Structure 1
Amino acid sequence: MTDAPLASITATAERKRGARLPVMVGIAIFWIAVMIVIALTADFIRPYGITAFDLKNRLALPGNAAHWLGTDELGRDVLSRLIESIRISLLIAFGSTLISAFLGTSLGFLASHFRGIVEQGVLMLADFQAALPFLILSLAVLAFFGNSLLLLTCLMGFYGWERYARIARGLAISASAQGYAAAVSQLGAKPSRIYIRHILPNIASTLIVSMTLTFPEIILLESSLSFLGLGVQPPMTSLGNMVGYGREYLTTAPWIMLAPALVIMFTTLSISILGDWLRDQLDPTIR
């Protein structure tokens, strides 16, 4: 009689240990939340305009009472530019991730539904996308068409869509084989309703994890393009733009480059840690 309560207590303790949030995940969530708050409130918390000059405080060291993170060679406040850069970079990464997920999932559902020539065409496009160096493609497009925030966001939206297409296609085929999709279809539901209302909710967790893995890659890709001078253009600024601009002053004013570089590193690391944790939590085979 005493074994059952003991087993119950042991199971409860194991569940509590499993439900405890890891320290690194908690730190990652806190950092991501801070970045989102900064992006949403940038206009209110930014102490100066991003183009405001203070020639009397050119290349001021960090810790200055007027400029906490110092200034650049034109006297522009690094903290203000960093806050604006966080907003622009997160806006591009978030918009591009949504475009990529929508495009890939839609094509994956089309391949799953029609099969045959449509499926082969989608898979062929996915193979072509995976084999093509996306950075080179981006450089060619931006050099030919010019660059704007909208074009850059849409271009980044083509990054990684083949992953979503393959995942959505495979999971949709698996879900259709389970029978509930066929049952709903026999009741007269349209294919669009079946995929959106019944299949998509069942595969959403896997797609969300994929988004957390693509998001930091897009941040790094945008930073690379801005570093090369083909990303966000002045007077706007982004994290990659600040890093590319600050490389010329790495030996004389390293804080211009180090501040955005650290933000890029911690943000991508935090999202990757969160994505790995979500993958473990949502994977039934691990539990």
Structure 2
Amino acid sequence: MALVERAPALTVRRRGPALPLGVVLASAWLALMVVTALGADVLTPYSITALDLKARLAPPALMGGTWAHPLGTDELGRDVLSRLIMSIRMSLLIALFGTLIAATLGTGLGFLAAHFRKAVEQVVLMAIDFQASMPFMIIALAVLAFLGNSLPLFIALMGFHSWERYARISRGLTLAANEQGYAAAIRQLGASPARIYGLHILPNIASTLIVSMTLTFPEIILLESGLSFLGLGVQPPLASLGNMVGYGREYITHAPWIMLAPAAAIVLTTLSISLLGDWLRDRLDPTLR
């Protein structure tokens, strides 16, 4: 009897779901912004304070200008591309440290409220309600008007934006974790509160906090831009996206490139972070799977 050879079974590899086009483009843009911020000193063709009055208000290369200034020059003959690169670094650094300060402060207060309860919890909740009831722009304007303006103070002030969001999230999730078996079991084994919250509860709520950070980051960029636009943010000779827009508003009719370049960077960066944050929320939130 003839033997029939069986064809070898084909193994089919399952591929994960393809990334949405918007997430890919957003990630590419954010990667470009990070590279620009890290290599700003190398990428800038001119000093941001170098003046060239003979070339003032020169148009970009694509609008009839020369490639010596690809994005044109401003009212003092400063290269717009160089100022844009340094402004991206400054705005991203402010947003990064502001987000980290807000996340650390809010998460710590949320843990304190969930651990001590009673009077400590009531004080934290009152602070959260006060912060949520007051528009942060008014608080920022008052602080900068009375205390003056310096870069460390400005970054610390940005860190107080949205801390109440992290405090609410961390308190609520910590209270839920304390009711679950793993937190109670670790506590019964004699683990210290720092070990319980730092090594066990925090990793379990980190995904929610990371998504909240992707929401806070673009908010701080917009807040910094608004305060710098009003003249209360980053001060000369430093440059940020907001003060570039502020200085360029007076020349929007006959030299719009001064304002459009930083404005486009603000819009694309905040949009990219928001798209990435929405995608992370869908991926990390177990209730949406």
Fold match by TM threshold 0.5: yes
User: Partner residue of 2:33?
Assistant: 35
Q: With structure 2 as the length reference, what TM-score do the two structures score?
A: 0.93
Picking from 260, 270, 274, the partner of 2:272 is: 270
Picking from 180, 191, 194, the partner of 1:192 is: 194
User: Counterparts in 2 of 1:140-219, with a 5 A limit?
Assistant: 140-219=142-221
Q: Comparing 92-101 with 177-186, which one deviates more in the overlay?
A: 177-186
User: Counterparts in 2 of 1:99-178, with a 5 A limit?
Assistant: 99-178=101-180
Runs (5+) with no aligned partner, structure 2: 1-8
Per-residue CA deviations over 1:46-83 (Å, capped at 9, x if unaligned) read: 00000001122111110122100000111100000000
User: Partner residue of 2:4?
Assistant: none
Structure 1 position 221, deviation (Å): 0.3
CA distance in 2, matches of 1:253, 1:172: 53
CA distance in 2, matches of 1:28, 1:123: 36
Picking from 94, 98, 101, the partner of 2:100 is: 98
The yes-or-no answer on 1:58 pairing with 2:60 is no
User: Partner residue of 2:19?
Assistant: 21
Runs of 4+ in 1 over 4 A off after TM superposition: none
- Greater Rg by CA: 2
User: Partner residue of 2:6?
Assistant: none
The yes-or-no answer on 1:233 pairing with 2:238 is no
CA distance in 1, matches of 2:53, 2:123: 58
Runs (5+) with no aligned partner, structure 1: none
CA distance in 1, matches of 2:28, 2:174: 34
Letter in 1 for 2:226: S
CA distance in 2, matches of 1:285, 1:196: 24
CA distance in 2, matches of 1:278, 1:197: 23
Structure 1 position 20, deviation (Å): 1.0
Letter in 1 for 2:170: A
Structure 1 position 19, deviation (Å): 2.2
Letter in 2 for 1:192: A
CA distance in 1, matches of 2:287, 2:235: 46
The alignment-based identity, stated in percent, is: 71
Structure 1 position 176, deviation (Å): 1.2
Letter in 1 for 2:46: Y
Letter in 1 for 2:258: I
Letter in 2 for 1:45: L
CA distance in 1, matches of 2:109, 2:17: 36
CA distance in 2, matches of 1:220, 1:161: 16
CA distance in 1, matches of 2:116, 2:31: 41
CA distance in 2, matches of 1:91, 1:217: 14
CA distance in 1, matches of 2:172, 2:206: 13
Q: Secondary structure at the match of 1:252?
A: coil
Structure 1 position 179, deviation (Å): 1.3
CA distance in 1, matches of 2:17, 2:200: 28
Structure 1 position 258, deviation (Å): 0.2
Q: With structure 1 as the length reference, what TM-score do the two structures score?
A: 0.94
User: Partner residue of 1:46?
Assistant: 44
- Root-mean-square deviation (CA, aligned residues, Å) is 1.3
CA distance in 1, matches of 2:34, 2:279: 20
Structure 1 position 182, deviation (Å): 1.2
Size of the aligned set, in residue pairs, is 276
CA distance in 2, matches of 1:102, 1:266: 27
Q: Comparing 111-120 with 75-84, which one deviates more in the overlay?
A: 111-120
Letter in 2 for 1:30: A
CA distance in 2, matches of 1:214, 1:128: 19
Q: Secondary structure at the match of 2:236?
A: coil
Letter in 2 for 1:251: T
